[in-house]
Structure formats: structure tokens, C-alpha cells
């Protein structure tokens, strides 16, 4: 077997056997297949796709490329988001479902590009740390039902190496490559059930509904084939989720949501995803699970669990700094908000220092943007559209106003939950 024959076989439109895919992944990991050869292989997959069977085999090979976590705890439910602007859902969901007796033992990432990472957001709480040994991780889940770490162990090394190459070769947006990357990591981290929030829209990895459905169906199939209860919720990411974009600002908004005072779209999403997680974890109906989720958002239990979690990971919730400067941006028109461009808002928040352009960039946790309105709202000229929280970097009013479109015609509110694949 050699990489050239395999690339040529794929080029002719033929399907690869499991052995051939295994050869490519293992030899790439061993350094015998060079980056330029792997780039050609990945580009071919990006252009020509993979069959369902090839994708399932690729996922399995990636999953088996490293360690797998097996905790002596049940039930454990994992949640994954494909990433969006203002997506602080995990910070609300994890303590919420843990407060209902469903364990969350989660690995999360840092942000790169225009979307933020959960780890960066949580680290805006002074003292909060996300590095711990597997033993401490397991003990914390046993004690309080929740632990969240960055990387741990040598899980799916194939994904680390392949993703780094995809990132610089324009092959991130391939459906089979996304499905195998996400699912190999979810399967390696040892949860019994997996709920995926698949964002669709201009601020998301996947822009078209058709592609999102294909990806969702594929991931659910892979999860179930591996014996996991799996669901994928397709959600709108044309406008930011909630109102806050920026690390400490998003934690503040999460605290509001944990006290039943969050923005409606964030709360709706938390109830939908939380309902699935609790239904999987406790083996109860979705409706019963959603009732429990709603109750715990309003009776203070979810927030109590959040405080317990923050304390367990060394954080001081009273030390959450924002700003230090703020500036209100006023509307120049009267009318209905037609569009709040999630991608642009994400990029503007990054320009303020809330995100990274390269892995080496240092985040300023205090800065960001807080919207006053969502798509469909009516605003008057001179009314505050949003507040910019800034420190040493600034953005112009024009840049911000360009990301928001206002029209005279009435605009209906976009649907947040587009589809649920189970
Ligand atoms: N998130 C992942 O973990 N992998 C991808 O390929 C895309 C998003």
C-alpha cells in the first residue's frame, strides 16, 4: 500500500477500504506520510466527499489512535457545540443538568477564529483553572457531579494532527472530516450519551441547512452505532446567541440565565438541550425532563451547583471584571432590526481583544459587546443599540453599525431551534 495509489483511487471516485484509511492515518501519525501528501488527501476528501461507510471507518480509526477515558460513573452526558458567537450554553447547561443528578465530565476547547471557547470564558473568573489529573477529574465528578477540563490524556492524537493541517489548508468545512473529528473525540471522552448543538448560519462552521442536516444525521448515526444515545439539535447562528459577546460578559449573562433571568433565546436553547441531556441521563421522557430543567433554572438549584463547581475549580465568582471602559452605540435610524451579523460581531469582539487570531494571542477577558436588541425588535433613532466594553483596543461606531441592518418593514423573529435529529 502507498499513499499515491490511495490518492489516485479516491480521485477515480472509488471507495477506500478500512485498511487503506487506517494505513493513511497511522502512517501520517508516524510521520511517514508527509504534510503535503496528507494535504492532498484531505483536499480530495473536501472536494469529493467520503461515503457513509468510509466516514464511519475513519471515525473508528481516529478514535482508536489514542487513549480513551472510561470513568467509573454513570450516567455521564456530554454536550458539544460546533461553535458560535455568544455561545455560552455549556456554562449554563453543565451545572443545570448536574443539579438534576446527571453527571457532566467534560473536555472543552479554547477559542480560535471568531468564536470563543468555553475554557477562555470560564478563565475570566479569577482563579478558575481547567487543568487537572484524571484522578482529580473523576473524584470531582463523583463528589459534585461536574468537572470541566481543557485537554486531558492523549485522546484522539490523529485529530490533533489532522485538524492542525485542515486549519491551514482550507479543509475545515468538509462534512465527513467534521463528523469524524467531532465524533471521535466525543466517543473517546467516555460519556454514555451525547447531545450536539449544531450551529447553522453566517456565524457558524456550517452555513447551509442542507449540509447541517447531512452532518447531523451522520453524527447521530455514528454515535448510535457506538452504543451512545445521541441527538443533534440544529440551531440558528445568523445572529449571536443571547446578548453578550466576550468572555467575562458571557459568564455574567450565564449567571443571569442560571437565575432564570437570561435572554429568551439562550433560555430556550438551554431548555431544549438540557431536556435532551436529562432525558437521556435519567431515562425519562423529554417533556418530563424539560419540566425538571425549567424548575431548576427558577428555584436557584442550578445556580447553587454553578457556585459549587466554580469553587471546586479554584474560581472566585465575586472576581469577574469587565470593561474598564464602556461606550453606548446609538441607532441612526428608526425601524425593525433585520440582521445582526454574527460573524461581524464575533470579529469586532475579537478586535477588542476578546478572541485570538493566532494560538499565541492573549485574550483580554474583560472586553466585548453587549447587545440591547435582537433581530425583529423595533428601535428608534437615538436609542442605544449596544454597549462596547473596551480596554486598550477600540473599534469605530461605523464598524459596529455596519454589522446591524435596520429596515422600515416589520421583521419576524428567526426560529432558534431549526431541527432535532435523534
Ligand atoms: N469541531 C471539531 O472538533 N472538529 C471539526 O472538524 C470542526 C469543529
Distance 157 CA to ligand 1 centre (A): 14
User: What cell was used for 78?
Assistant: 456530554
* Residue ID of nearest Cα to ligand 1 atom 6: 178
pLDDT of residue 151: 77
Distance 394 CA to ligand 1 centre (A): 31
* Upper half-sphere CA count for residue 249 (Cβ side, 13 Å): 29
How far is residue 44's CA from residue 185's CA, in Å, rounded to a whole number?
A: 23
Which of ligand 1's atoms lies nearest the C-alpha of 177? 6
Mean pLDDT, residues 266-284 taken together: 98
pLDDT at 116 > cutoff 80? no
Query: In this structure, are residues 194 and 229 in contact, taking their beta carbons and an 8 Å threshold?
Result: yes
Which of ligand 1's atoms lies nearest the C-alpha of 163? 6
pLDDT at 193 > cutoff 70? yes
Distance 8 CA to ligand 1 centre (A): 26
Q: Tell me, using a 6 A CB cutoff, whether residue 119 lines ligand 1.
A: no
Q: Tell me, using a 6 A CB cutoff, whether residue 270 lines ligand 1.
A: no
* Residue ID of nearest Cα to ligand 1 atom 2: 182
Q: Tell me, using a 6 A CB cutoff, whether residue 108 lines ligand 1.
A: no
Which of ligand 1's atoms lies nearest the C-alpha of 182? 3
Q: 111: pLDDT confidence band, cut at 50, 70 and 90? A: confident
Q: Tell me, using a 6 A CB cutoff, whether residue 183 lines ligand 1.
A: no
Burial of 377 (0-12, 13-18, 19+ CB in 10 A): middle
pLDDT digits (tens, 9 = 90+) for 1-31: 999 999 999 999 999 999 999 999 999 999 9
Number of C-beta neighbours around residue 7 at 10 A: 17
Q: Tell me, using a 6 A CB cutoff, whether residue 257 lines ligand 1.
A: no
Q: Tell me, using a 6 A CB cutoff, whether residue 181 lines ligand 1.
A: yes
pLDDT digits (tens, 9 = 90+) for 304-361: 999 999 999 999 999 899 999 999 999 999 999 999 999 999 999 999 999 988 878 8
pLDDT of residue 201: 92
Q: Tell me, using a 6 A CB cutoff, whether residue 62 lines ligand 1.
A: no
Q: 112: pLDDT confidence band, cut at 50, 70 and 90? A: low
pLDDT digits (tens, 9 = 90+) for 379-394: 999 999 999 999 999 9
pLDDT at 109 > cutoff 90? no
How far is residue 27's CA from residue 1's CA, in Å, rounded to a whole number?
A: 11
Q: Tell me, using a 6 A CB cutoff, whether residue 82 lines ligand 1.
A: yes
Query: In this structure, are residues 148 and 305 in contact, taking their beta carbons and an 8 Å threshold?
Result: no
**3-class secondary-structure state, position 268:** helix
Beta strand extents in 91-246 (DSSP E only): 104-107, 146-149, 193-200, 229-236, 244-245
Instruction: Report the 3 state secondary structure along 57-104.
Output: HHHHHHHCCCECCCCCCCCEEEEEECCCCCCCHHHHHHHHHHCCCCEE
Residue partners of 126: CB distance under 8 A and separation at least 6:
315, 316, 319, 320, 321
Of 240, 254, 246, nearest to 414 by C-alpha is 240
Instruction: Please list the active-site residues.
Output: 80, 159, 166, 181, 185
Mean pLDDT, residues 358-387 taken together: 95
Distance 9 CA to ligand 1 centre (A): 26
* Residue ID of nearest Cα to ligand 1 atom 5: 178
Provide φ and ψ at 394, rounded to 5°: -130, 155
pLDDT at 152 > cutoff 90? no
* Residue ID of nearest Cα to ligand 1 atom 7: 178
Q: Which helix (H) or strand (E) holds 290?
A: helix 286-298
Amino acid at each position: 500500500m502507498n499513499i499515491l495509489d490511495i490518492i489516485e483511487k479516491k480521485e477515480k471516485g472509488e471507495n477506500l477500504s478500512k485498511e487503506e484509511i487506517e494505513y493513511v492515518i497511522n502512517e501520517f501519525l508516524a510521520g511517514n506520510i508527509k504534510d503535503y501528501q496528507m494535504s492532498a488527501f484531505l483536499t480530495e476528501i473536501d472536494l469529493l466527499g467520503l461515503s457513509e461507510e468510509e466516514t464511519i471507518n475513519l471515525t473508528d480509526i481516529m478514535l482508536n489512535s489514542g487513549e480513551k477515558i472510561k470513568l467509573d460513573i454513570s450516567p455521564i452526558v456530554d454536550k458539544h457545540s460546533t461553535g458560535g458567537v455568544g455561545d455560552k450554553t455549556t456554562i449554563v447547561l453543565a451545572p443545570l443538568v448536574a443539579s438534576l443528578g446527571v453527571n457532566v465530565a467534560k473536555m472543552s476547547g479554547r477559542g480560535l477564529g471568531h468564536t470563543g471557547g468555553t475554557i477562555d470564558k470560564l478563565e475570566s473568573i479569577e482563579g478558575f483553572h481547567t487543568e487537572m489529573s484524571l484522578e482529580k477529574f473523576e473524584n470531582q465528578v463523583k463528589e459534585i457531579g461536574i468537572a470541566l477540563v481543557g485537554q486531558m490524556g492523549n485522546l484522539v492524537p490523529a485529530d490533533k494532527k489532522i485538524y492542525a493541517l485542515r486549519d491551514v489548508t482550507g479543509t475545515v468545512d468538509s462534512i465527513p472530516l467534521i463528523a469524524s473529528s467531532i465524533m471521535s473525540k466525543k466517543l473517546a471522552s467516555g460519556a454514555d450519551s451525547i447531545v450536539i448543538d449544531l450551529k447553522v448560519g453566517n456565524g457558524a462552521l456550517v452555513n447551509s441547512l442542507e449540509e447541517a442536516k447531512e452532518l447531523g444525521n451522520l453524527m447521530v448515526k455514528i454515535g448510535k452505532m457506538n452504543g451512545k444515545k445521541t441527538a443533534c439539535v440544529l440551531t440558528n447562528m445568523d445572529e449571536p446567541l443571547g446578548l453578550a459577546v466576550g468572555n467575562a460578559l458571557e459568564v455574567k449573562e450565564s449567571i443571569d440565565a442560571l437565575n432564570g433571568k437570561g435572554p429568551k433565546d439562550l433560555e430556550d436553547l438551554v431548555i431544549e438541550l438540557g431536556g435532551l441531556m436529562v432525558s437521556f441521563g435519567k431515562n425519562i421522557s423529554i417533556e418530563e425532563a424539560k419540566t425538571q430543567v425549567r424548575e431548576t433554572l427558577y428555584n436557584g438549584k442550578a445556580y447553587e451547583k454553578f457556585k459549587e463547581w466554580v469553587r471546586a475549580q479554584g474560581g472566585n465568582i465575586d472576581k469577574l471584571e469587565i470593561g474598564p471602559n464602556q461606550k453606548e452605540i446609538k441607532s441612526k435610524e428608526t425601524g425593525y432590526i433585520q440582521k445582526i451579523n454574527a460573524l461581524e460581531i464575533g470579529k469586532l469582539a475579537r478586535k477588542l481583544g476578546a478572541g485570538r487570531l493566532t494560538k499565541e494571542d492573549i485574550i483580554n477577558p474583560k472586553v466585548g459587546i453587549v447587545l440591547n436588541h435582537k433581530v425583529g425588535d423595533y428601535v428608534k433613532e437615538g436609542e442605544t443599540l449596544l454597549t462596547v466594553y473596551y480596554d486598550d483596543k477600540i473599534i469605530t461606531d461605523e464598524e459596529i453599525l455596519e454589522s446591524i441592518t435596520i429596515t422600515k418593514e416589520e421583521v419576524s423573529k428567526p426560529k432558534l431551534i431549526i431541527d432535532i435529529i435523534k
